[in-house]
Amino acid sequence: MKIAVGSDHMAYELKEIVKYHINQLGHEAVDYGCYNCTEVDYPDVAFEAAQGVKDNQAERGILICGTGIGVSISACKVPGIRAALCHDVYSAERAQLSNNAQILTMGAQVIGPEPAKKIVEAYLNVTFQGGNSERKVNKIIEKEKEFMEVHNN
């Protein structure tokens, strides 16, 4: 799988570790920045990476900032994207299995490299199967479409 990866400067080092780990797992990490510890605004990176996932340049995404909250909120502003903030293995699995989240977000000041690797593996090792969750995810998709139609007219 191609995985969009991005971070702000606060999470640059963890992003590099996660990117390497993704490649070691046999996936291809597509880096949307940042590319060093120079200050950047997390929404810029999150918007670009989320758009890349939406445009099928990557199948899923992993975004990291200090807490994971900012990149999660930002990525969810891209229509059609569901980003889930996860700091444990169970939540990462459920983000995909229950919510079909295309993007996983984490906080570099919340978790360290080893938990991050396990969370990434958990997220990438499962695939949305539908079932009862499909009905719920479809409600989210339909509400977003309805909202977009109302505000585009």
* Catalytic site positions: 65
Phi, psi angles (nearest 5°) of residue 115: -60, -40
Give the residue from 124, 65, 64 showing the smallest Cα distance to 95.
Answer: 124
Sheet with 28-31, strands from edge to edge, namely: 28-31, 2-7, 60-65, 103-107, 83-85
Q: Are 84 and 72 in contact (CB under 8 A)?
A: yes
Angle at 134 between CA 147 and CA 71, to 5 degrees: 60
Task: Give the integer Cα–Cα distance in Å for 5 and 145.
Answer: 26
